[in-house]
Amino acid sequence: MTQSVSATGQRPVALITGATRGIGRAIAEDLGKDHHILVGGTDAARVAELVDQLPSAEPFVADLGDLEALAEATRSVPERLDVLVHSAGVAVTGTMAESGPEVWRDTFTVNVYAVAELNRLLLPALRAAGGQVVALNSGSGYSSRGGGGIYSASKFALRALTDALRDEERGRVRVTSIHPGRVDTDMQVALQAAAGNTDYDGARYIAPASVAATVRTAIEMPPESMVEELAIRPVRG
């Protein structure tokens, strides 16, 4: 049965963006065992469905592409926030020659600008709790290939943002960057289809629950230590 923040007892509070599907949902289900979850998403019905399934949760409905609306949504976040997980993201493919400025703008708005704005707005609550920011990055945050430059550029920028935040908040808020390789999600299915791969086999890729386990590892580190970066890759390459 869903509880309100006032009824969560000693449960720490975690806000997870992109929580209704893929990696974000796996993180919400894992942390939901012992956290009060603010379920982030743009589809109110999908958010409500997950809220109803978790032991202690409430909705955080916000369009990350609308930074003004995002600021309004954060007014409902408690004054103490233990964990902020940036899991929402968009992935596009395309060469430099065929990609216009709107594609760059839309990708960076969700993958970078919204992350920076949420960090800025919620830092007081994170500081009050001695909390933690976890940014779900990618292997593409380390290297770039033809056709993936826009996505990689946004993830390089996210890594730079996360590194700077960690340095600025050291001793007050822990900041972790997690870089999964290919994960078995709807996004991966779409990416493989766009690449012309018709024999999709989810078993070749990382399970979302495995990424969620790395998030829990980072969050459960003793208070005097911090996982700064963590890379997770499929065994089968």
Reply yes or no on whether the pLDDT at 13 is more than 80.
yes
**Is 11 contained in some domain?**
yes
Confidence tier at 10 by pLDDT (50, 70, 90):
confident
pLDDT the model gives residue 6: 39
**Is 32 contained in some domain?**
yes
**Is 186 contained in some domain?**
no
Q: Calculate mean pLDDT across residues 223-233.
A: 93
Mean pLDDT of the chain: 90
For residue 39, list its beta bridge partners: 16, 59
Angle of helix 22-31 relative to helix 44-53, nearest 10 degrees? 30
**Is 70 contained in some domain?**
yes
Domain count for the chain: 1
Query: In this predicted structure, which of 22-31, 124-133, 194-203 has the lowest mean pLDDT?
Result: 194-203
- Nearest C-alpha neighbor of 223 from the set 159, 132, 135: 132
Classify 83 as helix, strand or coil: strand
Cα 200 to the chain's mean position, in Å? 24
- Rounded to two decimals, the pTM is 0.90
Confidence tier at 203 by pLDDT (50, 70, 90):
low
Confidence tier at 108 by pLDDT (50, 70, 90):
very high
Half-sphere exposure of 232 (CA within 13 A, CB side): 20
Confidence tier at 181 by pLDDT (50, 70, 90):
confident
**Is 187 contained in some domain?**
no
Give per-residue burial for 24-43: e unless 16+ CB within 10 Å, then b. Answer: bbbbbbbbbeebbbbbbbbe
Query: In this predicted structure, which of 28-37, 89-98, 147-156, 180-189 has the lowest mean pLDDT?
Result: 180-189
- For 213, the domain range is 5-180+207-232
* CATH code of residue 73: 3.40.50.720
Q: Are 158 and 134 in contact (CB under 8 A)?
A: no
pLDDT the model gives residue 4: 38
**Is 150 contained in some domain?**
yes
